[in-house]
Amino acid sequence: MSPVPGATPARSAAALAEAVRTGATSAVDVVDEALAAIAGDNQEVHAFVTVLAEDARQRAAEVDRQVAAGRDPGPLAGVPVAVKDNLCTRGVPTTCGSRILEGWCPPYDATVVDRLARAGAVVVGKANMDEFAMGSSTETSAFGPTRNPWDTTRVPGGSSGGSAAAVAAGFVPLALGSDTGGSIRQPAALCGVVGLKPTYGSVSRYGLIAFASSLDQVGPFAASVADAALLFDVIGGHDPLDSTSLDRLTPRLASVLGDGIDGLTVGVLTEHLDGVAPDVARRVHEAAEACAAAGATVEEVSIPEVRFGLSAYYLIAPAEASSNLARYDGVRFGLRVGADDVVAMNTATRTAGFGAEVKRRIMLGTYALSAGYVDAYYNQALRVRTLIADAFAAAYRRVDLLLGPTSPTTAFALGSKLEDPLAMYLSDVCTIPSNLAGHPAISVPFGTGADGLPVGVQLMAPALGENTLLRAAAVLEAAAPAGAPAGAPAAGSPGSTPGGDGVEPTAGLP
């Protein structure tokens, strides 16, 4: 194959949009460049399951017509965007990485997709993902795995691995993903890009095909903090179509990125450093030093309750999934396998349509909700969730932000954890607590590990604390070690040693 592009796009999303709005370049040229990059390397990386070449060119031509008529197409004029394949796009296959929805075309757009269009963006394709967002490596997709552009023998993370890889490979400057237990931040860390999980309810979930409704949140991937802020400003805000949408003003982020963190207090979350690879921990300590150099007070913070986050999550999320996925029965939409009666048809359809990981979580969730067990498992997990949220609230009375690793290791080898579900689940041990609490968090690239693969550091903030979160993210981005990732090098490099120092995390085990 030809080399995966060695850097992020030459211009940021903001610069591309400005060039299109002023007529310095055309949206059609910008989109054609993105489509050419995808055509050259998507077969190897497999970031996209559907490429919308003709639709994208038509949309770009419409943006150019608006510019020629003297109208402003919007803050993302002509910018190519990848959309995770669990966000409904009218008339376009939306599969959730599953055979059970193969070929299904929604009759409407998700709110965030509609807001992209209103901002002048051009959706160039649907990004690959773990089936129904259940996974941490984008290997459970029914349509084949996505590969990490930094080293195509490694995973890109998951479940939004296609979105992260699309940005890291330079196919697009922006992408949308969803984050239920780390599915934006963890792949962002492994692919060396920025990934933001906003406050629960600050971005509409209307048109997001549900995994776990009390945890799912849509958010941006970008090559820079500024571009992530720009995309959040486009998609954020109240939506009356989403009953969980916050009916209040959403923070606007692009204007605060230069405000710095002088006078803030940053807490290094000690529990999240337990069991992580030494090279990852080293980068977190360097990030803490960068915060101190920028004028913040840095101190250690202990939240013992986060150790139970993984256990609570893997009861709550599968329980909600077992309910949400009951709709895929072979009757209303998607795959239908014929049989002699309705029960047999339901069974045959779900057997053929769902992959092993989805079946595992449906069975786990159904068991946790069953009579005689719901109090011992599901309701107990909800109580633990409340304890974690309360513990975070107490910590935020002492500090403005929390800092830790995003992932316990750098990108691991394809296939290395598929036969060990617990090892795979531990990939999200650092990201899950923010989902349980409903708080915002961001992964920022901060150098590389011992193997030359990207390391991401995670900043966490209280609910609706995105302004403070992005100020600190901009500081860390500017202070990142020389050679820190902002996209992928040529395919096949860097080296092939195991992720991090080969250390498996232990924090969070029951």
What confidence tens digit (pLDDT) does each residue in 180-219 have?
999 999 999 999 999 999 999 999 999 999 999 999 999 9
Kindly state the tokens that stand for 284: 């977190």
> Read out DSSP for 430-494?
TTHHHHHHT--EEEEEEEE-TTS-EEEEEEE-STT-HHHHHHHHHHHHHHPPTT--SS--STT-S
**Omega of the bond prior to 159 within 30 degrees of 0, cis?**
yes
Confidence of residue 465 (pLDDT cuts 50, 70, 90): very high
Predicted confidence at residue 226, as pLDDT, reads 97
- Residue 183 is a catalytic residue: yes
Q: What is the model's pLDDT at position 483?
A: 62
- Which stretch of 1-5, 269-273, 299-303, 375-379 has the lowest confidence by average pLDDT? 1-5
Residue 399 pLDDT > 70: yes
141, 159, 163, 204: which one is catalytic?
159
- Percentage of the chain beyond pLDDT 70 is 93
Q: Is the pLDDT of residue 492 over 50?
A: no
Which of 31-45, 195-209, 278-292, 330-344 shows the lowest mean pLDDT across its residues?
330-344
Among 225, 228, 167, smallest CA distance to 7 is for 167
Q: How many CB atoms lie within 10 A of CB 496?
A: 12
Please give the DSSP secondary-structure letter assigned to residue 325.
G
In the prediction, which pLDDT does 485 show?
58
Q: What is 13-306+387-479's CATH topology?
A: Amidase signature (AS) enzymes (3.90.1300)
Answer yes or no: 159 catalytic.
yes
Residue tagged active-site, from 26, 98, 183, 434? 183
Instruction: Determine whether 11 is exposed, middle or buried from the number of CB atoms within 10 Å of its CB (0-12, 13-18, 19+).
Output: middle
pLDDT reported for residue 445: 98
**Would you state the pLDDT for residue 4?**
45
Kindly report the pTM of this predicted structure.
Answer: 0.93
User: To the nearest whole number, what is the mean pLDDT of the chain?
Assistant: 93
Residue 252: which pLDDT band, with cuts at 50, 70 and 90? confident
- Given this model, what pLDDT does residue 489 score? 55
Residue 58 has pLDDT above 70, yes or no: yes
- Measuring CA to CA, which residue among 256, 178, 187 is closest to residue 467? 256
pLDDT for the residue numbered 29? 98
Contacts of 393 (CB under 8 A, 6+ apart): 462
Q: What is the mean pLDDT of residues 384-412?
A: 98
- Residues 210-238 have a mean pLDDT of 97
Catalytic one of 26, 84, 178, 427? 84
Is pLDDT above 60 for 507? no
Q: Is 384 helix (H, G, I), strand (E, B) or coil?
A: helix
Q: Are 37 and 124 in contact (CB under 8 A)?
A: no
Residue 443: the pLDDT is: 98
The domain segmentation of the chain, as residue ranges, is: 13-306+387-479
Query: Which structure tokens are listed for 467?
Result: 């302004």
Residue 138 is predicted with a pLDDT of: 98
Q: At what angle do helices 13-22 and 53-68 cross, to 10 degrees?
A: 50
Reported confidence tier of residue 501, pLDDT bands at 50, 70, 90: very low
Q: What's phi and psi for 262, nearest 5 deg?
A: -55, 125
| Joined tokens for residue 128 | 């690959």
- Verify whether residue 204 is a known catalytic residue: no
Yes or no: say if 136 and 171 are a contact pair by the CB < 8 Å rule.
no
- For 185, list phi and psi in degrees, rounded to 5: -70, -40
Six-digit token string for 167? 């940005």
How is residue 168 written in tokens? 């890291």
**What per-residue confidence (pLDDT) applies to 487?**
55
Instruction: Calculate the alpha carbon distances from 138 to 50, 128, 164, 366, 414 in Å.
Output: 16, 7, 10, 24, 10
Query: Is a pLDDT exceeding 90 seen at residue 93?
Result: yes
Q: How much is the average pLDDT of 460-486?
A: 90
- Among the listed residues 414, 407, 409, the one whose alpha carbon sits nearest the alpha carbon of residue 451: 409
| Residue range 393-409: mean pLDDT, rounded | 98
